[in-house]
Structure 1
Amino acid sequence: MNGLMQDKPLLISSLLTHAERYSGQVEVVSRRIEGDLHRYTWADVAQRSRQLAMALDELGLKPGSRVASIAWNGYRHLELYYGVSGSERVLHTVNPRLHSSQIAWILQHAEDEVVFFDESFATLVESLKPLAPGVKHWVMLCEPDALDNTADSAGLLSYEALIAAQSGDYVWPEFDERTASSMCYTSGTTGNPKAVLYSHRSTVLHTLVLTTPNGLGVGSQDALLPVVPMFHVNAWGVPYCAALAGAKLVLPGPALDGASVYDLIEREGVTLALGVPTVWQTLLDHMERHQHTFSTLKKTSIGGSACSPSMQQCFEDQHNVEVIHCWGMTETSPLGTTSKLMTQHQELSREEQQRVRLKQGRPVFGIDMRIVDDQGIEQPWNGKAAGHLQVKGPWVISAYYKDEIDNRLDDGWFATGDVATIDEHAYLQLTDRSKDVVKSGGEWLSTIDIENIALSHNGVALAAAIGVPHPKWDERPVVVVLKKPDAEVSAEEILALYPGRLAKWQSPDDVIFVDEMPLGATGKVLKTQIRQQLQGYTLPDLGS
């Protein structure tokens, strides 16, 4: 017997329709590339997104056509999120920090027919045009007269002129909720990037869970600031959950320095900000230099890489901002876990609670997880046994786009490439990436633990632990450190932090200082490059 409920497909357009109808006057604020602030409402977003959908019809794009964006977090990019996907096309958000040859490869692999781009990427687009012959239209996100500012405006279209020609009298189509909605490519640190293809169903389900208390707890009283880029896993779903919740959305544009981010938080009354640790460190450093405090910020969601204890303590103890430590990846849409306390943790000391919350956390509804050893045998949840992390769920990848060879599923489980432990309360703690794990004397060492201890020193800006060859133990860990500007830090000071916190065999054998830490397109430290830079390095003679 079937239930007698209405059968409405879960479509991205329904999120915007809801926001327009019930939160139409709530603001969406963007810092433009020109530096000024642009203000309008969710009702305006809906109207202009419909005009965009009509413009795509006018360009002759069929359902399923791929439409690329090369843009910062701004209101026009937001309209692409809804106008492209809502009209049954696929939005492909491109990371502009990748090398131009890699971007060209991605555009061709995705078979993008239209590319929308911010004016600040005009030079990049000039280099891409001859490398991506399949692109039929290049549209600059600008007013018509701004095209005159580009060195090569031939064949370029103005976004504002394109949508101004349309009335917006458009009805969002209904179609199968499993239809593709958007796509993101992985960073491609080991070969060409791979494409993750999201569906309307997976996106709406993911959005619903983001708003729950065990997700990010987003409501209509919030003002959200996604510092995480809209080209990085759909800004972690924030443009969608802000519409669902009817929350104010604040978009930072290209200005991601500490001063600009702080100004926007204070000016717009931001209550929840989301970003990676490298961005938050610049914000906290700016605040420390100028003795600033937050007046409205209540929560920050930190993902992309592990949050250090010192960063968590700075946010919470100095600024009274709750840190929501999260784990996810492009292949999981991205939210997989959040680290929040359970009832049984309320009686613990603050220090013990912090240790729990520094873990990546418990799975949100919809995500199942397990850890397995090298032979695929599931490992116990005791917080000690480590294994390869695998996950499954309705917003977890089943296969990569156009990838017929590399099937990452193991009996329905997706292999994340992370090494982790899970404790008796189902809290996940990452210890490494499988490709970065240090194996010493047959034991897996946690590079994340090593890095977090180094980061507890006030003079350390970034730390990366890697394994180097050892004649007896196969590998031993060293920690590579980037100092904060003008900081005085010695190797002896760093090494003195480990006794009492890690066993001797788990601690690094050396500290190597660098002038610059190689960062990837999403702000993560590139350990592959560090290993290349340290080729030929010899460990100090420690007598064993």
Structure 2
Amino acid sequence: IAALLEHGQRIHGGSEVVTCEGEGVRRARFGEVGERAERLAAGLSRLGVRAGDRVGTFCWNAQEHLEAYLAVPSMGAVLHTLNVRLFPEQLTYVINHGEDRIILVDDSLVPILARVARELRTVEHYVVIGSGDPAPLGLHALRYDALLAAEQPGYAWPALDEQAAAAMCYTSGTTGNPKGVVYTHRSTFLHSLAASSGSVFALSDHDRILLIVPMFHANAWGLPYAGWLVGADLLMPGRFLQAEPLCRLIATERPTMSGAVPTIWSDILRHAETHPIDLSSLRLVACGGSAVPRSLIERFQERHGVRIVQAWGMTETSPLAAIAVRPKGRPPEEEMEWRVKTGRVVPGVELRLVDEAGRVLPWDGETAGEIEVRGPWVTAAYYRDDAPEKFDQGWLRTGDVGTVDARGFIQITDRAKDVIKSGGEWISSVELENQLMAHPDVLEAAVVGVPDPRWEERPLACVVLRPGVHATDETIPNLQAFLAARVARWWVPERWSVIDEVPKTSVGKFDKKLLRARYAEGALRVIGPLTPA
């Protein structure tokens, strides 16, 4: 990563990092950011950080977080990005399990970190970014700017083994403790080359990348490193992730590329229904983290001319593994049919389908199995956690179930834990959700399997109606009829619940485990069983 840092600093020193501060922005050139990374490394060294030590970041997407991305791995330490949306018990666990010695924290997040500070066994210093009050963290809190001001640029980056640990991120799994994934210098550099390649995001110094996906989640999909490597300007929204400030930032700073989970883009689309917005600068939006509804892709294309492309991966794959771009030889009128697929496996990632007995399945676009992957940026183990059920002789068991066609295009039908087996046949909750969210009255939809005395399991559809739409006696029958015209009739749910909001995990995915628990506890108001007309 030191080579990546020095290349961007020297070759693209004039590219800029723009950080949103609410009504305004602040700017810094790559050359300045690189020098500040050198000062940060010197300051951390003075605090006793040595090769292999973990340095945590509890930060929004901002210039200082990028400086840590560059400095910490380059000095031989390990960058540990901490998810600011974790429950206190999970946050305590990942910091203690990772054995972080130093934590860099945004001043706006100090109160959250302070709640668990007494439980942190290995943290020696907190370095507070910004002018906010550090007092809640106690006597071991330092100021970031003061730490840098005491040092000089020109830090001598050590020669490191390319297989040495560079960064780590814990998964956001909804069962058990989060699991640590370690990225090496080699895996990070190769992932950056892949992400910037023409068959993926085609990044260059002509681009301006709006980094909405959090830098605490799977290295912000690798975009900070890839963007720095090629000299693309990096636009950081900070904590201002609501639709209105994001749209204002897009209109004024003119990004050409961005990436975020579907929830963010749904909020922007809804904002656009009542406010004028300008998204004309965007040539490409990568969307992932959960299945992207076809209706979302189509509405952005039709209403704003924005090309949303679905990408697939996970924390364990750094995260890039597949991207849905129309292959050569197929006509433009098929564009949408390819974009709504999960994605085509990218160069550098090997993929196979296996059945429950571990037999390898054909790529025929019809046979479904669990997806397994391996490659130079795919983890082969968790940090201090054996988890043998997740690995199969060097292959990562992703937990995703789907098909692969002869061209290498994946179509995920479900998570293995979310697949609904009704009367011995499989029902895809993802497909039901996508179809429901295409209905003009539905804002969000989550489908889970619930016990059924006759069929063993049946789907329960939990829907959030759009603002201004109110449930009536005809709402559920209308939704059933809408589905019956689009999926197999026996897939149509008999049980429904109209809810205010679909619960989300810390990275914005639908929390189906929580929905199932609420159903089991009787906490959901369920309509039905209603037999479709």
Q: Is the 8 A contact 2:171 2:178 kept in 1?
A: yes
What letter matches 1:287 in structure 2?
Answer: A
Distance 2:173 2:434 in 1: 26
Q: Which residue of 1 aligns with 2:196?
A: 211
Q: Which amino acid aligns with 1:380?
A: P
Q: 1:411 to 1:152 in 2, by over 3 A?
A: closer
Distance apart, 1:442 and its partner CA: 1.4
Equivalences for 1:259-270 in 2 at 5 Å? Answer: 259-270=244-255
User: What secondary structure sits across from 2:116 in the alignment?
Assistant: helix
- Aligned CA distance change for structure 1 residues 333 and 278 (closer, same or farther; 3 Å): same
> Which deviations, in whole Å up to 9, do the C-alpha atoms of 1:308-339 show, x marking residues without a partner?
01100011111111111100000000000000
Q: Which residue of 2 aligns with 1:19?
A: 8
Q: Which residue of 2 aligns with 1:468?
A: 450
**CA offsets 1:148-192 (integer angstroms, 9 cap, x no match):** 7x4555321000000110101212211110000000001131011
1:118 aligns with 2:106: yes
Q: Does 1:495 align with 2:480?
A: yes
Partner of 2:425: 443
Counting only pairs closer than 5 Å after superposition, residues 298-377 of structure 1 correspond to structure 2 as 298-346=283-331, 350=333, 352-377=334-359
Q: Which residue of 1 aligns with 2:402?
A: 420
Q: C-alpha separation between the residues in 1 aligned to 2:315 and 2:202?
A: 21
1:534 Cα deviation from its structure 2 partner: 1.2
Partner residue of 2:19 out of 30, 43, 48: 30
Deviates more, 1:421-430 or 1:521-530: 421-430
Alignment-derived partner of residue 5 in structure 1: none
Counterparts of residues 25-424 of structure 1 (less than 5 Å) = 25-32=14-21, 36-143=24-131, 146-147=132-133, 150-151=135-136, 153-346=138-331, 350=333, 352-406=334-388, 408-424=390-406
Q: Deviations over 1:430-454 (max 9, x none)?
A: 1111111101121221111100110
Per-residue deviation, 1:499: 2.4
Alignment correspondent of 1:434: 416
Distance 1:452 1:405 in 2: 32
CA distance in 2, matches of 1:450, 1:126: 42
Alpha-carbon contact 2:496-2:527 (below 8 Å) kept: no
Q: Is the 8 A contact 2:494 2:532 kept in 1?
A: no
Calculate the TM-score normalised by the size of structure 2: 0.96
RMSD: 1.7
- Which deviates more from structure 2 when the two are superposed, residues 505-514 or residues 357-366? 505-514
Residues 324, 342 of structure 2: 8 Å contact kept: yes
Alpha carbons 1:316, 1:323 under 8 Å: kept: yes
Deviation at 1:361, TM superposition (A): 1.3
> Where does structure 1 differ by over 4 angstroms across 4 or more consecutive aligned residues?
150-153, 536-539
1:539 Cα shift? 5.0
Q: What is the match of residue 8 of structure 1?
A: none
CA contact (8 A) 1:450 1:508 kept: no
Give me the whole-angstrom Cα distance separating, in 1, the residues matched to 2:387 and 2:350: 25
1:9 counterpart residue number: none
State whether residues 129 and 143 of structure 2, in contact with CA within 8 Å, keep that contact through their aligned partners in structure 1.
Answer: yes
Does the 8 A contact of 1:399 with 1:407 survive in 2? no
Is the 2:497–2:527 contact (alpha carbons within 8 Å) kept by the matching residues of 1? no
Q: TM-score, normalised by structure 1?
A: 0.94
Instruction: Name the stretch that deviates more: 233-242 or 352-361.
Output: 352-361
Distance 1:466 1:138, change over 3 A: same
Contact 1:463 1:482 in 2 (8 A): yes
* TM-superposition CA deviations, 1:17-72 (whole Å, max 9, x none): 1111111111110013x653110111011000000111111111110000001000
The farther-off stretch of 229-238 and 491-500 is 491-500
What one-letter code is carried by the residue in structure 1 that aligns with 2:79?
L
- Please give the alpha-carbon distance, in whole angstroms, between the structure 1 residues aligned to 2:339 and 2:46: 51
SS at match of 2:206: coil
Separation in structure 2 between the aligned mates of residue 61 and residue 73 of structure 1, nearest angstrom:
23
Q: Deviations over 1:117-167 (max 9, x none)?
A: 000111122222210031011110125xx447x455532100000011010
Q: Give 5+ residue unaligned stretches, structure 1.
A: 1-11
Identify the residue that residue 3 of structure 1 maps to in structure 2. Answer: none
Counterpart amino acid of residue 43 in structure 1: G
CA distance in structure 2 between the partners assigned to 1:151 and 1:109 by the alignment = 23
Distance 2:531 2:441 in 1: 26
User: 2:511 maps to what in 1?
Assistant: 526
Q: CA–CA distance in 2 between the matches of 1:152 and 1:223?
A: 36
Are the structure 2 counterparts of residues 16 and 538 from structure 1 closer, same or farther at C-alpha, using a change threshold of 3 Å? same
CA contact (8 A) 2:290 2:509 kept: yes
Give CA deviations for 1:238-274 in whole Å, capped at 9, x if unaligned.
1101111111100000011101111111111101110
* Distance in 2 separating the partners of 1:152 and 1:396: 36
CA offset digits 1:358-399 (Å, max 9, x no partner): 011111111111111111112222222111111111111100
Which residue of 436, 448, 459 corresponds with 1:454? 436
Conservation of the 8 A alpha-carbon contact between 1:26 and 1:248: yes
User: In structure 2, the residue corresponding to 1:56 is in which secondary structure?
Assistant: helix
The offset of 1:541, in angstroms, is 5.8
Identity %: 39
**8 A Cα contact 1:113 1:136, kept in partner:** yes
Deviation at 1:101, TM superposition (A): 2.1
Question: Matched residues in 1 for 2:481 and 2:245: separation?
Answer: 36
Query: Would you say the 8 A contact 2:481–2:532 is kept in 1?
Result: no
- Paired with 2:18 and 2:491, the residues of 1 have a C-alpha distance of 48
- Counterpart amino acid of residue 370 in structure 2: H
Distance in 2, Cα, partners of 1:541 & 1:456: 21
Report the number of matched residues: 526
Deviation (angstroms), 1:510 = 3.3
Q: In the alignment, residue 374 of structure 2 is paired with which amino acid?
A: K
Counterpart of 2:305, as a letter, is N
Secondary structure in 2 matching 1:301: strand
One-letter code aligned to 2:40: L
Q: Quickly say closer, same or farther: Cα 1:405–1:464, change in 2 above 3 A.
A: closer
Counterpart CA distance in 2 for 1:49 and 1:409 is 36
Unaligned runs of 5+ in 2: none
Once structures 1 and 2 are overlaid, which stretch shifts more, 184-193 or 529-538?
529-538
Identify the range of structure 1 (34-43 vs 102-111) with the bigger mean alpha-carbon deviation.
34-43
Q: Pick from 466, 474, 477: which aligns with 1:484?
A: 466
Return the offset for 1:523. 0.6
